[in-house]
Amino acid sequence: MKYYIISGEASGDLHAANLVKHIFMQDTQAQVRAWGGDLLRQAGACVVKDYSETAYMGFVEVLTHLRSIMRNFAFCKKDILTYQPDVVILVDYPGFNLRIAKFLHQHNISAYYYISPQVWAWKKNRVHAIQQNVDEMFVILPFEQDFYAQYGMRVHYFGHPLLDVVQQFKVDTTFADRYITDERPIVAILPGSRHQEIKRMLPTMLAVADRYDNYQFMVAGVEQHKKLYEQYVHSNNVKVIYNNTYNLLHYAYAAMVTSGTATLETALFNVPQVVCYKATYLSYCIAKKLVKDIRYISLVNLIADDDLVKELIQTDMNVSTLQQEFDKLLQGDTRARMLKKYGQLHQKLGDGAATDKIAANMINLLKMR
């Protein structure tokens, strides 16, 4: 069968790549064309649009790149019609993918949505667009089943795929020799994968790092933003480690993490963390008005339904407050409580093999059609 996959950022590339691996295992005749990045390429997909051209963060950023976004829509629609896939798998990235879902419905092309848009947080009216335009929904957060049930929708839930990724991860035994220079504990800095995120988060995180000589700091870097890291990282006590986040988390004692998938990855590696988030003032004001009945922004707290990790949002994301919260991670009750709660979080994410089950279910549904 022919699959067309659309992922628009790093986390989507990760999940889509693992899905593709399992599709190839179970459908030996599979052909996969995709929007994504290096992980999808490595998994065997033909990537026609790199997510570096599509990842825009916040309302203001979307407006300023509107012309590029419209060109991407036009390219995507034409490419799908030319390729004529058996199914289009939409991976998160709702601003783009929900519009493509409508296009697919109009052209009678099957649309499977993998990783639900966060409609439970904002724009709940999008549920109706999903009902109308998406054939099958594959969710990865346990509470999403109950949310969609309120609207009379049946969705597929097999657990969270990140659990499988982390469980299957094998440590690179050369990592320590290449990057760890002494016995000081390692602190991981995860400033995000988008250009705008890095510009907003990294300077504050580095300013805190400058105050700790008894720890060594390592930034989880993305190769395509190399010049940006060079612009900010000047301390001998900070290294940028490219495309090696899981090895970094394996060795890390604590972490400062930009809100997103990385917060859950950090928790699955049992690394105590402070979660950070800062948008433009206008984007933040708009988001605050749109988000309803949601107490947390990090995946860790959302899944746990508890203030498991500290979230520093907007003006709270400053050097003084970040240092204060970071200090709490290094020893004492806060660290012990967080590590204990991580264990409970793991249990909520299923019993493993989620991606394999999702791939099998998708293939079976296509065969039934």
> Mind listing the domains of the chain with CATH numbers?
2-158+353-368 (3.40.50.2000), 168-348 (3.40.50.2000)
State the pLDDT at residue 82. 98
Which residues are 274's β-sheet partners? 256, 310
Q: What number of other Cβ atoms are within 10 A of residue 325's Cβ?
A: 21
Higher pLDDT, 236 or 290: 236
Q: Do β-strands 186-190 and 156-157 pair in parallel, antiparallel, or remain unpaired? A: unpaired
pLDDT band at 154 (very low <50, low <70, confident <90, very high): confident
Which pair of tokens denotes residue 70? Answer: 């419209």
pLDDT 10s digits, 323-358: 999 999 998 899 999 999 999 998 888 888 999 999
Percent of residues, the chain, with pLDDT higher than 70: 91
Position 75 pLDDT exceeds 90: yes
Please provide the average confidence, as pLDDT, over all residues in the chain: 90
State the pLDDT at residue 288. 58
Q: What phi and psi values does residue 179 have, to the nearest 5 degrees?
A: -120, -25
Which is nearest to 300 in space by CA: 339, 246, 334?
A: 339
Three-class SS of residue 366?
helix
State the pLDDT at residue 63. 53
| Whole-structure pTM value | 0.81
Q: E-assigned strands of 216-294?
A: 216-221, 238-242, 252-258, 273-277
pLDDT band at 57 (very low <50, low <70, confident <90, very high): low
Higher pLDDT, 292 or 14: 14
Q: What CA–CA distances, in Å, run from 145 to 13, 62, 141, 150, 330?
A: 24, 30, 8, 9, 37
Q: What CA–CA distances, in Å, run from 149 to 10, 109, 131, 209, 363?
A: 29, 25, 12, 45, 24
Type of residue found at 9: E
State the pLDDT at residue 118. 81
Say which residues have a Cβ less than 8 Å from residue 278's Cβ, sequence separation at least 6. 200, 201, 204, 284, 313, 314, 317
In this prediction, residues 251-274 reach a mean pLDDT of: 96
pLDDT band at 123 (very low <50, low <70, confident <90, very high): low
Position 227 pLDDT exceeds 70: yes
Say which residues have a Cβ less than 8 Å from residue 60's Cβ, sequence separation at least 6. 280, 282, 283
State the pLDDT at residue 68. 74
Q: How far apart are CA 37 and CA 224, in angstroms?
A: 11
Position 111 pLDDT exceeds 90: yes
State the pLDDT at residue 262. 94
State the pLDDT at residue 289. 57
Task: Kindly state the helix (H) or strand (E) to which residue 139 belongs, with its residue range.
Answer: strand 136-139
In this prediction, residues 32-50 reach a mean pLDDT of: 96
Percent of residues, the chain, with pLDDT higher than 90: 72
In this prediction, residues 183-201 reach a mean pLDDT of: 93
State the pLDDT at residue 278. 87
**Do 6 and 77 form a contact (C-beta atoms < 8 A)?**
no
Q: How far apart are CA 323 and CA 338, in angstroms?
A: 17
Task: Kindly state the helix (H) or strand (E) to which residue 88 belongs, with its residue range.
Answer: strand 87-91
Position 56 pLDDT exceeds 60: no
In this prediction, residues 35-48 reach a mean pLDDT of: 96
In this prediction, residues 11-38 reach a mean pLDDT of: 95
Q: How far apart are CA 154 and CA 150, in angstroms?
A: 10
Q: How far apart are CA 189 and CA 339, in angstroms?
A: 19
Higher pLDDT, 60 or 336: 336
State the pLDDT at residue 2. 98
Type of residue found at 315: T
Three-class SS of residue 5?
strand
**Do 87 and 112 form a contact (C-beta atoms < 8 A)?**
yes
Which residues are 227's β-sheet partners? none
State the pLDDT at residue 55. 56
Say which residues have a Cβ less than 8 Å from residue 299's Cβ, sequence separation at least 6. 141, 260, 261, 263, 264
Q: What number of other Cβ atoms are within 10 A of residue 200's Cβ?
A: 21
State the pLDDT at residue 78. 97
Q: How far apart are CA 369 and CA 365, in angstroms?
A: 6
